[in-house]
Amino acid sequence: MAVSDEDVRHVAALARLGLEPDRVSQLATELNGILSHMDVLAAVDTSAIDLHERGDGQGMPLRDDGEAQLPLAHGRETFAPASRDGFFLVPRLATHEDASEDA
């Protein structure tokens, strides 16, 4: 599967990477080079592997609902790029809708 320039742009957008246009082609070439080494995987017979089957069967450890809150050694204002009245501030979204949509 060859990665096109358009693929790179699409994927960069998904990852919010903001690529300079002149890097796109070069990245497509690099990705194609790397992925060509992965073609060997397609030929491998993995039909006997069931990823849903877990070897150790240990399962997930759970946490008690009554635990104490994890403390912060220094307040949010020490690392927040922009904050006010306790809120983190970011540039306003292009759309004001509250639906969970990509920004």
What is the spatial distance between Cα 48 and Cα 28, in angstroms, rounded to a whole number? Answer: 34
Site for another protein in 29-48 (CB under 8 A): 30-31, 33-35, 37-38, 40-42, 44, 46
What is the spatial distance between Cα 23 and Cα 31, in angstroms, rounded to a whole number? Answer: 12
Least distance CB 100 / another protein (angstroms): 6
Q: What region, left, alpha or beta, does residue 56 occupy, with left being phi > 0 and alpha being psi -120 to 50 degrees?
A: alpha
Site for another protein in 59-88 (CB under 8 A): 59-76, 78-82, 84-88
Residue 97 binding another protein, by CB under 8 A:
yes
